[in-house]
Structure 1
Amino acid sequence: MRRRGRVIDRRSVLAGLAATPVAARGASADPVVATTYGRVRGVREGGVAVFRGIRYGADTAPRRFRRALPPAPWADIADATRYGLAAPQTRATEPTGEDCLFLNVWSPGLDDARRPVLVYLHGGAHAHGSGSDPLTAGGNLARRGDVVVVTLNHRLAGLGYAYLAALGGPAESGNVGNLDIVLALRWVRANIARFGGDPARVLLFGQSGGGAKVVTLMAMAEARPLFHRAVTMSGQHVTAAGPRNATRRAAVWMERAGARDPAKLARLPVDRLVAAMATPDPVEGRGEISFTSTLDHHVLARHPFYPDAPREAAHIPLICGNTHDETGYWLRDTLLKGDTDWTNLPDRLSAQMVKDMDPGFVIERYRAIYPDRTPGQILLAASTAGRSWPGHLIQAEARAALNGPTWMYQLDFPAPGGGGVLGAYHTLDIPLVFANIGVADAPTGDGPAARAVSAAMADAFVRFAATGDPNGGGLPAWPRFTLPERATMVFDTHSRVVHDPRRDERLLFAVAPYIKPGG
């Protein structure tokens, strides 16, 4: 997810775009790998072989709203030294285009070591982002854990998730972004051994919208055989969009773009479609049109975690993670301004809570539970517990009911900026897991405390990818999440296991159901 207050000029980071196959070039030391579609040439950086912009799918423009096709084979060596185009999106910070099905690989060795493979799905809801964020570059994690790291781009927003089936469009249109990921995972299965990875040990992990896609793929029969462990980082996805609301959104988008039917929409210039995506959502009445995975009874036949966790995925080990202060990400300006008081707190809290509860009652209970907290601190805690935390709890509880191997973590390490008032906010675990705390603009800082937390998290993810169990190393014993114990690994300067953390807050909000906005 794009971090507020930090716009990355990726044009300077990318220094170009992934090319179509070109003749062999560069020094003889440059790594070359023969994939199922043709040879690719990367670079070596710090002892790691890096391949940026490997094509895993054909240009999606000719098949807009339809399942993408694999790429056509090429004869020459394709340049894989520059990131590929990101998917078309509003507020883009890097070059975009419909020819966006590219992935990136970091590997410590192009041998037959069969290393664990970590495939990351970027955040940004289902509408923004790419696999080229500097904070998710895989070099440090690959080097630290002797693993292969993969990031990827796929179709987003209306081009990836507009449900046009009820309007006369393709049946799969509401989930083609997920089908792109399936195509990428098929590429991994067929090719990753040539990059030193083990196709039988693939961890699929993602943050925010990426984590939501992870658990959605666990509910998709077509995707499940392609990965073997999963991690959702702040991906509180319980339900997908229902087909009626998804149709309503697609109809508004089509009208705003000036198309009378999906066939016309498929022929319009892509810039016109992107501009129309910025229309306020017709269901929620704010923001942009909310395109997301859709219960289409076709590609996605059930919700990810409703009415339960999918039994067909119960065998896949899952880590379900969240940050202690998720909403510090959205409340950044308010919290840094510091003007929340007892008078304006009810309105501010009401605007953030998903659970339909009286904000006055919630504030009264929080003042009793935490009598020393300020209004701003209560706003942060109660908005997190009433908005971002419930989905994670539902996921872990549903998995526990199936006795599926599940572990839960909570990041408590606060961002040092702003005097710590933002807490451990949404996205803060990304540079920690990728061991990228030294990257410019990493919100964690690069001090001894951040290094300790990063080491604990990155190593746990590596062990999980390797064995399906995060335990080991210097980490305290991490029990599976079961009921009623609710064992949770709290990652902090001194990581520890806590049973039923924030119990009083959990019980306070447990009286109201969790209903995804606009679902």
Structure 2
Amino acid sequence: MSEEIIARASAGTFIGSEEAESGARVWRGIRYALPPVGELRWRDPVAAPRASEPVTCASAPPAAPQLPNPAVPLGDDAVIDEDCLFLNVWAPAAAEALPVMVWVHGGAYTFGSSAQPLFEGATLVREGGVVLVTLNYRLGALGFLDLSGVDPDAFDGNLALKDVLLALSWVRENVAAFGGDPSRVTVFGESAGGGLVTALLAVPSAAGLFHRAIVQSSPASSMYGPERAREVADRFLAEAGESGADPARLRELPVDEIVRASTAVYAAVPQQSPGRLAFAPVVDGSLLPEAPITVLREGRGHPVPLIIGTNRDEASLFKFMKSPLIPITEDRLLEMFADMRAEAPGLELPSVQQVASAYEGVRHRVLGLGVARDIGFRMPGVWIAEGHSAVAPVWFYRFDHSSPFLKLIGLGATHATELPYLWGNLDGGPKDPTFRLGGRREAGRIGARMRARWTAFARGGSPQAVAPEGVASEGVAPEGAAEWRPYDLASRGTLVIGREDRCVDDLDGALRAGWGDEVLSFR
């Protein structure tokens, strides 16, 4: 049973529901932009006009066009449509001027949705006393292909990043009607979502749209300039049989053909150039003037407090899924280093021997997993934490916990495994084997601590695992919590999230020595 809840906002009147079972209020599928179809395909998003009639927000919004991916389940009833620019709002009962958390989902810039079952927000908002917004953005070639280099008058670029910016503008103008405080907005995301949050920290026009940020497992160094974007565009056009790049023909292409060509390019680019992604935000010199990894390393990002971190075994999922995205074998890693040296001959890259010194005692057969994890995720996190800590408080973490089953099959604390803990949605359905050998109760305790930390941070404080008075644990730190000290260059305190949390000084000292101080990025 549910009760209708009405929110009267600048964008219109929206009818949501209060779910008796969860105690949370939810508005699903609020349009924030016009459908990006027809003449608006590959064009900047256009804000939706104010709704003239009350809008019933009872159905999950369509996911952006994509092929099915078992690693990113959209849900049994998921609808896929090019008209996908919607968001969802969750709030506790009787919400008023609460901090706001805006979620940007991951999925290699090609998969995923705001409405995945994993991102049901009732637990997060109820325990944390926050208003939650989850948003869609365009994916794959429809969101990240930059055709502006082919015809700048007919096509715009960085579309997905602009989608997120427009959604954040909608939040600023409307979230108060749902019980949120627009002056306390924390944007957070994981994987590709974390990459987009990283980009936002370096986008000048994002200033004032958010006040805190959380970056989980961001491929922050995998963003490219116009030359690389043009190569990807040419490859896509050839794959789609549209090398003439006629705007009218491209806008008439069936969306299924765009997804097919997009998926082919997604797989081909990292096969040809190990370590590179086909689709990612473009360092275009205007919206995104410089590579975010450089801006943040030099302490020039928006000076907002930041949580950033990665998982201990990030790369094992990509090996398990036979994904082309991350080079793991020795020959592919050597090819990646050779490409980076060729592209930046003046850059002092560490030698293979120097990098290997960071992995003393690691078995040779898993050495590649460590190198791939650290070039793709961990070292960019270290570089960002170091630079950003000069301009704003930073809290750095590593998620180390894995269920007995994931440990048994060799995945461990791999990419995205922290998400069910954070969201409190540990039941992944009948096909999810994560807790087949037990560990669910322990995972529940770890997740409660994570939610308490993330939401304490969103409320404006430090991410200590203490819930607000009258919410969940009533201001008492959950069992197994530990003090999480801010990251600075003196102690480099890092929270290790596991069965019991612990704060460790200079956890990544050996990695820093092996990889050196020079920021390594793909161009």
RMSD between aligned residues: 2.8
The one of 216, 221, 237 aligned to 2:204: 221
**Aligned equivalent of 1:449:** 442
Per the TM alignment, residue 230 of structure 1 is displaced from its structure 2 partner at its CA by 0.2
CA–CA separation in structure 1 for the residues paired with 2:297 and 2:154: 25
**Aligned equivalent of 1:56:** 32
**Aligned equivalent of 2:516:** 510
CA–CA separation in structure 2 for the residues paired with 1:403 and 1:324: 27
**Aligned equivalent of 2:48:** 71
Determine if the alignment matches structure 1 residue 258 to structure 2 residue 241: yes
CA–CA separation in structure 2 for the residues paired with 1:204 and 1:310: 21
**Aligned equivalent of 1:340:** none
State whether residues 349 and 383 of structure 1, in contact with CA within 8 Å, keep that contact through their aligned partners in structure 2: no
**Aligned equivalent of 1:47:** 23
The one of 411, 418, 433 aligned to 1:429: 418
Amino acid at match of 2:457: F
**Aligned equivalent of 1:267:** 252
Per the TM alignment, residue 455 of structure 1 is displaced from its structure 2 partner at its CA by 1.5
State whether residues 18 and 93 of structure 2, in contact with CA within 8 Å, keep that contact through their aligned partners in structure 1: no
| CA distance 1:84–1:170, shift in 2 (3 Å) | farther
CA–CA separation in structure 2 for the residues paired with 1:347 and 1:30: 51
User: Higher mean Cα deviation, 269-278 or 443-452?
Assistant: 443-452
**Aligned equivalent of 1:29:** 3
CA–CA separation in structure 2 for the residues paired with 1:239 and 1:348: 19
Name the SS of the counterpart of 2:103 in structure 1: strand
Per the TM alignment, residue 362 of structure 1 is displaced from its structure 2 partner at its CA by 6.1
The one of 4, 28, 38 aligned to 2:12: 38
CA–CA separation in structure 1 for the residues paired with 2:213 and 2:328: 38
CA–CA separation in structure 2 for the residues paired with 1:262 and 1:161: 19
State whether residues 205 and 211 of structure 1, in contact with CA within 8 Å, keep that contact through their aligned partners in structure 2: yes
Per the TM alignment, residue 146 of structure 1 is displaced from its structure 2 partner at its CA by 1.4
Determine if the alignment matches structure 1 residue 493 to structure 2 residue 469: no
State whether residues 358 and 513 of structure 2, in contact with CA within 8 Å, keep that contact through their aligned partners in structure 1: no
The one of 320, 324, 328 aligned to 2:316: 328
| CA distance 1:466–1:144, shift in 2 (3 Å) | same
State whether residues 167 and 262 of structure 1, in contact with CA within 8 Å, keep that contact through their aligned partners in structure 2: no
The one of 68, 81, 95 aligned to 2:79: 95
**Aligned equivalent of 2:347:** none
State whether residues 109 and 196 of structure 1, in contact with CA within 8 Å, keep that contact through their aligned partners in structure 2: no
Where in structure 2 are the equivalents of 1:39-438 lying within 5 Å? 39-45=13-19, 46-61=22-37, 62-91=39-68, 94-111=78-95, 113-170=96-153, 173-238=156-221, 240-259=223-242, 260-261=244-245, 263-264=247-248, 265-280=250-265, 283-286=269-272, 290-306=278-294, 308-309=296-297, 313-332=301-320, 348-351=329-332, 366=359, 369-370=360-361, 374-400=363-389, 402-420=390-408, 421-438=410-427
Per the TM alignment, residue 200 of structure 1 is displaced from its structure 2 partner at its CA by 0.9
Per the TM alignment, residue 228 of structure 1 is displaced from its structure 2 partner at its CA by 0.5
CA–CA separation in structure 1 for the residues paired with 2:518 and 2:205: 34
Name the SS of the counterpart of 2:204 in structure 1: coil
User: Higher mean Cα deviation, 142-151 or 474-483?
Assistant: 474-483
Identical aligned residues as a percent: 31
Amino acid at match of 1:273: I
Q: How many residues align?
A: 474
User: Higher mean Cα deviation, 303-312 or 479-488?
Assistant: 303-312
CA–CA separation in structure 2 for the residues paired with 1:442 and 1:232: 27
| CA distance 1:271–1:507, shift in 2 (3 Å) | same
CA–CA separation in structure 2 for the residues paired with 1:199 and 1:384: 36
CA–CA separation in structure 2 for the residues paired with 1:172 and 1:34: 35
| CA distance 1:225–1:443, shift in 2 (3 Å) | farther
Describe the superposition over 1:422-462 as per-residue Cα deviations: whole angstroms up to 9, x where unpaired. 22111011111112224533846652321221111111100
Per the TM alignment, residue 349 of structure 1 is displaced from its structure 2 partner at its CA by 4.2
User: Higher mean Cα deviation, 158-167 or 287-296?
Assistant: 287-296
State whether residues 154 and 247 of structure 2, in contact with CA within 8 Å, keep that contact through their aligned partners in structure 1: no
Per the TM alignment, residue 477 of structure 1 is displaced from its structure 2 partner at its CA by 2.3
CA–CA separation in structure 2 for the residues paired with 1:425 and 1:233: 12
Point out where structure 2 has 5 or more consecutive residues left out of the alignment. Answer: 339-349, 467-476
State whether residues 236 and 261 of structure 2, in contact with CA within 8 Å, keep that contact through their aligned partners in structure 1: yes
Name the SS of the counterpart of 1:351 in structure 2: helix
Per the TM alignment, residue 83 of structure 1 is displaced from its structure 2 partner at its CA by 0.9
Per the TM alignment, residue 278 of structure 1 is displaced from its structure 2 partner at its CA by 2.2
Describe the superposition over 1:243-284 as per-residue Cα deviations: whole angstroms up to 9, x where unpaired. 001011112212322331251322322222112112346654
Amino acid at match of 1:193: A
CA–CA separation in structure 1 for the residues paired with 2:280 and 2:196: 9
Per the TM alignment, residue 323 of structure 1 is displaced from its structure 2 partner at its CA by 0.5
State whether residues 131 and 151 of structure 1, in contact with CA within 8 Å, keep that contact through their aligned partners in structure 2: yes
Amino acid at match of 1:34: R
**Aligned equivalent of 1:341:** none
Amino acid at match of 1:277: S
Amino acid at match of 1:252: R
**Aligned equivalent of 1:477:** 483
Describe the superposition over 1:338-371 as per-residue Cα deviations: whole angstroms up to 9, x where unpaired. xxxxxxxx983443676567778866874xx32x
Amino acid at match of 2:512: R
> Could you state the TM-score of these two structures normalised by the residue count of structure 1?
0.84
Amino acid at match of 1:348: T
Per the TM alignment, residue 227 of structure 1 is displaced from its structure 2 partner at its CA by 0.5
Name the SS of the counterpart of 1:271 in structure 2: helix
| CA distance 1:310–1:191, shift in 2 (3 Å) | farther
Amino acid at match of 1:71: A
Name the SS of the counterpart of 1:120 in structure 2: strand
State whether residues 202 and 465 of structure 1, in contact with CA within 8 Å, keep that contact through their aligned partners in structure 2: yes
CA–CA separation in structure 2 for the residues paired with 1:365 and 1:238: 20
CA–CA separation in structure 2 for the residues paired with 1:220 and 1:490: 30
CA–CA separation in structure 2 for the residues paired with 1:392 and 1:220: 18
State whether residues 415 and 422 of structure 1, in contact with CA within 8 Å, keep that contact through their aligned partners in structure 2: no
Amino acid at match of 1:48: A
Describe the superposition over 1:133-159 as per-residue Cα deviations: whole angstroms up to 9, x where unpaired. 111211110111111111111111111
| CA distance 1:314–1:153, shift in 2 (3 Å) | closer
State whether residues 102 and 188 of structure 2, in contact with CA within 8 Å, keep that contact through their aligned partners in structure 1: yes
Name the SS of the counterpart of 1:119 in structure 2: strand
Per the TM alignment, residue 307 of structure 1 is displaced from its structure 2 partner at its CA by 5.2
**Aligned equivalent of 1:14:** none
State whether residues 406 and 434 of structure 2, in contact with CA within 8 Å, keep that contact through their aligned partners in structure 1: no
